[in-house]
């Protein structure tokens, strides 16, 4: 930490050391910075950046990623809004990029993402679009690949 997190501009960085979750080793760093209030609102904004994220499976396969996101805490609406991008390499060696094309909304009273869309583009494959809907608290999403839609139940 470089100071009190409640002070605008201050941040803290998390660097796991010998950390495992269900026999999967997690490495890299995550830095969260307090950006202050969103312009013209009482909503707090934070930058959340992952650098050199790596998960190593028990079979010694690796998944790599980095991301740059903005999280907005809409206190009076009771929700978090997530915007940003990510990229990495899957455990089979396929590079990918991910963009949140419409912000993801996480409602405090719901365990699912209730709204937003993202596009996942694996190298050499068609882009996959995932639409989480328009605000209903359910585990449903629509996955679109090459103009074909598939209903998906998440978690």
**pLDDT confidence of residue 6:** 82
Helices H / strands E in the chain, number of each = 0, 11
* Predicted confidence pLDDT, tens digits, the chain (155 residues): 787 878 899 999 999 999 999 999 999 999 999 999 999 999 999 999 999 999 999 999 999 999 999 999 999 999 999 999 999 999 999 999 999 999 999 999 999 999 999 999 999 999 999 999 999 999 999 999 999 999 999 87
- Whether the CB-CB separation of 100 and 111 falls below 8 Å is answered with no
Please state the separation of Cα 119 from the chain's center in Å. 12
- Alpha-carbon distances of 152 from 24, 67, 101, rounded to whole Å: 26, 25, 19
Predicted TM-score (pTM) of this structure: 0.90
pLDDT confidence of residue 4: 83
Write a three-state SS string for 83-139.
EEEEEEECCCCCEEEEEEEEEEEEECCCCCEEEEEEEEEECCCCCEEEEEEECCCCC
The DSSP bridge partners found for residue 149 are: 144
Cβ neighbour number for residue 67 with a 10 Å cutoff: 17
What pLDDT was estimated at residue 137? 95
Contact between residue 80 and residue 102 where contact means Cβ atoms under 8 Å apart: no
């Amino acid at each position: 930490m470089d100071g009190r997190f409640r002070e605008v501009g201050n941040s803290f960085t998390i660097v796991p050391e010998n950390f495992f979750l269900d026999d999967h080793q997690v490495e890299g760093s995550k830095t969260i910075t307090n950006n202050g209030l969103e312009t013209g609102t009482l909503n707090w904004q934070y930058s959340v950046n992952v650098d050199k994220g790596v998960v190593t499976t028990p079979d010694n396969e690796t998944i790599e990623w980095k991301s740059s996101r903005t999280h907005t805490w809409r206190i009076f609406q009771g929700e978090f809004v997530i915007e940003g991008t990510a990229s990495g390499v899957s455990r089979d060696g396929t590079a990918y990029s991910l963009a949140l094309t419409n912000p993801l909304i996480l409602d405090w009273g719901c365990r699912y993402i209730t709204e937003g869309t993202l596009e996942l583009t694996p190298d050499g494959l068609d882009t996959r679009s995932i639409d989480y809907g328009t605000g209903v608290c359910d585990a449903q999403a629509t996955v679109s690949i090459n103009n074909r839609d598939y209903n998906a139940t998440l978690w």
